[in-house]
Structure 1
Amino acid sequence: MAEDFGRRLPYLLRRVTGALSQRLDEDLHEFRLTQSQLSALALLSVEPEGLSGAELSIRSGVTPQSMSAAVGGLADRGLIVRTPHPTHGRILVCRITPAGTDLLERVQRTTRDSSRYDAGLSAAQQEQLRGLLTYMMRALDLYLPAPDAPDPQIE
């Protein structure tokens, strides 16, 4: 008997991520940010030496073209600065500015304090899901900003 496609992980994950993505877009609208721009700011906030557009693209899981547009918009607003790489003249290194840090903190407060993203899961369920998703990301060789996150107890 064929498996019900409605129970397949890719389908379930796509539906959940689609709904959460739509909610995040709604919340980011007031800050005039896209998800790629938010990702760039968050990544740059923990990388004091800065990152290239290519590194931001890979770590964010978006195309180089999308990240280029995102970075351009952030630079136009003074939320990041781009400077030539010290040894690779054609590479521009992006760094977050104080204005970018301030905006990121405001966005994170808004999204962290919102129950719009927890889908009614308890704190324990959220932690369990976080562990499972982290495990999946490692298995899929995806960038994780917190490499020391514990592995879940998978039964």
Structure 2
Amino acid sequence: MAEDFGQRLPYLLRRVNAALSQRLDEDLREFKFTQSQLSALAILHIVHPDGLSGARLSARSGVTPQSMSAAIVGLAERGFVERSPHPTHGRVLECRITDAGADVLELVQRATRDSNRYDAGLSAAQQGQLRALLTEMMCALGLYLPSGEPHEPPHDGFS
């Protein structure tokens, strides 16, 4: 008997991701932010306040280097990040979040965290179960976890 296409995990995850992504885009529009910009600011503020290269931000955000480069340029133009040469790899630019970037990140996170638009009707217990299952899947797939667990992509030699 053939598996019901509508019950396949990739299909279900893609549909949920698309719906949640669309909601996040709508909420970020108020701040003139993209998801890549939000991800970059969150990673720089919470996980790597000492700075990261655009390549590392790209890998940790799960977006293309080109997409992250555009995100960083937009953030720098608005004064939310600063870029400076890497101390040992002069051609590499490290990004650091500014105080203005931290302030706007807090506003954006509050606006998106306090919304029930992202819980999809799940109870707190169900959200915890889903979070645990998705974290297991990320680990099994070798994806970066912002918690700093050892599930990072291979190091490229730059911070």
Range of TM-score over shorter length: over 0.9
The one-letter code sitting in structure 1 at the alignment partner of 2:124 is A
What are the equivalent positions in structure 2 for 1:75-154 lying under 5 Å apart? 75-147=76-148
Give the aligned residue type for 1:140.
L
| CA RMSD of superposed structures (Å) | 0.7
User: How far, CA to CA, are the matches of 2:25 and 2:83 in structure 1?
Assistant: 26
State how 1:7-86 maps to structure 2 within 5 Å: 7-46=7-46, 47-86=48-87
State the 4+ residue runs in structure 1 displaced beyond 6 angstroms: none
1:147 positional shift: 4.3
TM-score, with length taken from structure 1: 0.94
User: Partners in 1 of 2:36 and 2:137 — Cα distance?
Assistant: 22
- Find the aligned partners of 2:49 and 2:27 in 1 and give their Cα distance: 27
> How many matched pairs?
148
Structure 2 stretches lacking a partner, 5+ long: 150-159
Q: In 2, Cα distance between the equivalents of 1:27 and 1:48? A: 25
Q: Distance in 1 between matches of 2:70 and 2:136?
A: 31
**Percent identity (aligned):** 76
- Report deviation, 1:107: 0.5
Alpha-carbon separation, structure 2, partners of 1:61 and 1:147: 15
> Comparing both chains, which one has the higher relative contact order based on Cα–Cα distances under 8 Å and sequence gaps of 6 or more?
2
Q: CA deviation at 1:49?
A: 1.2
TM (normalized to structure 2)? 0.92
Q: Deviations over 1:85-107 (max 9, x none)?
A: 00100000000000000000000
Show structure 1 runs of 5+ residues with no match. 149-155
Query: Hey, what's the Cα distance between the residues in 2 that align with 1:6 and 1:57?
Result: 32
What do residues 19-54 of structure 1 show as CA deviations (whole Å, max 9, x unaligned)? 000000000000000000000000000212100000
